[in-house]
């Protein structure tokens, strides 16, 4: 049995490995939802590496929180949250990325990544592919509910899920 995943803040030197996790997760999760030519594009990993390098180094994204999950020295998950793109929202944070290799689903990596980039006391929103019953169930388990909003992004239908701040006891 391998060791459980550990989560830490992402570093700029993680960008290439984060891109690999991102692309593998897309291929595992979105095959049949996203166009094959996008998923099979030989330049996809390089494009995602540029995205992660920018997310980790560009001052425009300094408010973002980015974390990675590692197991046995290998990156198995990535997550990123940041300020919402729309100022007219009731939430203060948006979860933009949460990907974990399919082989690591159920290991606690996803929950640990979510906790690393979103505080329980801040209202948060996210967009999740629909259909994607596993991811939607994961988010429901963590207090998110669909609010009725939907969109199509890169040919993929997504629904918005939101979570209010947890009440203080």
Q: What is the DSSP string of 90-113?
A: S-SEEEEEEEE-GGGTTTTHHHHH
- CB-based burial label for 136 (10 Å; 0-12, 13-18, 19+): middle
- Nearest residue to 55 via CA among 18, 2, 91, 20: 18
Predicted pLDDT of residue 8: 97
- pLDDT at residue number 86: 82
Question: Would residue 108 count as lying in a domain?
Answer: yes
Q: Classify residue 154: in a domain, yes or no.
A: no
Residue 109 lies in a domain: yes
Please list, in sequence order, all residues whose beta carbon lies within 8 angstroms of the beta carbon of residue 139, skipping any fewer than 6 positions away: 126, 128, 161
Query: Which is it for the CA torsion 7, 8, 10, 14, positive or negative?
Result: negative
Give the pLDDT confidence score for residue 167 in this predicted structure.
Answer: 61
- Neighbouring residues of 154: CB distance < 8 A, sequence distance ≥ 6: 34, 35, 38
Quick one: pLDDT at residue 168? 58
Query: What pLDDT score was predicted for residue 14?
Result: 97
| 66-106 per-position pLDDT tens digit | 999 999 989 999 999 999 988 788 899 999 999 999 999 99
Which backbone phi and psi does 153 adopt, to 5 degrees? Answer: -125, 120
- Which domain range does residue 30 map to? 6-120
What CATH number did the domain enclosing 41 receive? 3.40.630.30
State the residue for tokens 């509910």. Answer: 145
Q: Could you give the number of structural domains in the chain? A: 1
In a domain, 39, yes or no: yes
- Two tokens, residue 127: 């967009």
Sequence-separated (6 or more) residues with CB below 8 Å from residue 152: 158
What are phi and psi for residue 128, nearest 5 degrees?
A: -130, 140
For residue 89, tell me if it sits in a domain: yes
Give the global pTM. Answer: 0.91
Kindly state whether residue 87 falls inside one of the protein's structural domains. yes
Using left for φ > 0, alpha for ψ between -120 and 50, and beta otherwise, residue 160 falls in beta
Instruction: Give pLDDT < 70 ranges for the chain.
Output: 1-2, 166-169
Any domain includes 138: no
Instruction: Name 112's bridge partners.
Output: none
pLDDT of residue 45: 94
């Amino acid at each position: 049995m391998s060791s459980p995943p550990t989560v830490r803040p992402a570093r700029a030197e993680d960008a290439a490995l984060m891109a690999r996790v991102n692309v593998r997760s897309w291929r595992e999760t979105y095959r049949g939802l996203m166009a094959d030519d996008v998923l099979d594009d030989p330049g996809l990993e390089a494009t995602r590496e540029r995205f992660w390098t920018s997310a980790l180094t560009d001052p425009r994204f300094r408010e973002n929180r980015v974390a990675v999950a590692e197991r046995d020295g290998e990156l198995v998950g990535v997550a990123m949250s940041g300020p919402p793109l729309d100022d007219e929202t009731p939430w203060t944070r948006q979860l933009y990325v949460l990907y974990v290799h399919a082989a690591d689903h159920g290991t606690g990596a996803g929950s640990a990544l979510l906790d690393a980039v979103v505080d329980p006391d801040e209202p948060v929103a996210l967009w999740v592919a629909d259909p994607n019953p596993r991811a939607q169930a994961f988010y429901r388990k963590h207090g998110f509910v669909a609010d009725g909003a939907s969109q199509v992004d890169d040919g993929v239908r997504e629904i918005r899920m939101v979570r209010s701040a947890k009440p203080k006891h």
